Amino acid sequence: MTNTHNRYPPLTPLPRHVGMIMDGNGRWAHRRGLPRLAGHRAGVENLHQVLRAAVDFGVPIVTVYAFSSENWQRPEEEVQGLLNILRDSLQKEVGELHKNGVQLRHIGDLTPLSDDLKEQIHAAVDLTRNNDQLIANVAFNYGGRQEIVEAVRQIIRAGIPAEAVTAATIDDHLYTAGIPDVDLIIRTSGEMRLSNFLLWQGAYAEYYITPVYWPDFDKDEFYKALKAFSQRDRRYGGLNT
């Protein structure tokens, strides 16, 4: 049996919060002569492995980009397929995630979703809300710009005067209120862009880009990303002395 401790020596520092842009599902499927939705299903299955790895490595918070607010522009068949994959995953996997101590949270706008899917999401969040092994934010129908717009609207509705608005005020009105900013953002498939993900929270995040497609981003690849982070010199705009 492999000694996990020797295979994955402890790393320091570890990010408190890791964001993941899970890219490359469609290309993974295309290379195998499979339909795009087969890639998306493989990606969801892989997500469970990555969440288990996060627990093993001691990462306390993960935010995964599951469906952007722009993804509605994809072909109707693919959009409906993605919604069905979410529905199936909630039915089949939430119990196991709950048993493993994962606290599921949703960030984004649930308004366009069907009532039954909304109920499933709320039920998963309610079931796991007291778990403390890992906070897993699932960004579904999420867009970073819209999140900031909505935060500003909430601040105005609350009657907070302009001169009283600070960065902390905006923090408190984001979907991620109460959660530390993301320290590391991982993007698979080699693409070099943010795609409207955690624009505010990622202001000082470190970025790790890998050519590996998301369904192949396994525990070893996750460890490589964490190791790269541990070797970064984070200066937050200043100089280390």
Set out the domains of the chain in order of their start, with CATH numbers. Answer: 12-143+180-229 (3.40.1180.10)
- Which residues pair with residue 21 across a beta bridge? 65, 187
> Active site residue: 3, 6, 71, 132, which one?
71
Token pair, residue 123, equals 């039920």
Distance, CA of 115 to CA of 87 (rounded, Å): 12
pLDDT tens for 197-214 read 999 999 999 999 999 999
Q: Roughly how many angstroms between the first and final C-alpha of the chain, as a whole number?
A: 44
Dist CA 142 CA 38 (whole Å)? 23
- pLDDT band for position 55 (50/70/90)? very high
Question: Helix or strand or coil: residue 184?
Answer: strand
Catalytic residue (choose from 3, 6, 23, 172): 23
Could you report the per-residue pLDDT of 30-53, keeping only the tens digit for each? 999 999 999 999 999 999 999 999
Residue 69's SS3 state is coil
3-state DSSP assignment of residue 26: helix
* Model confidence, pTM: 0.93
- 23 has catalytic annotation: yes
Which pLDDT score is estimated for 235? 72
Inform me whether the pLDDT recorded for 85 exceeds 50: yes
Instruction: Please give the C-alpha separations between residue 239 and each of 13, 203, 204, 235, 236, in angstroms, as whole numbers.
Output: 18, 17, 14, 6, 8
Task: Write the pLDDT tens digit of every residue in 65-84.
Answer: 999 999 999 999 999 999 99
The pLDDT tens digits for 174-189 are 999 999 999 999 999 9
Catalytic status, residue 141: no
How sure is the predictor about 2, in pLDDT bands with cuts at 50, 70 and 90? very low
Rg of the chain over Cα atoms, rounded to whole angstroms, equals: 18
pLDDT, tens digit (0-9, with 9 covering 90-100), for 139-198: 999 999 999 999 999 999 999 999 999 999 999 999 999 999 999 999 999 999 999 999
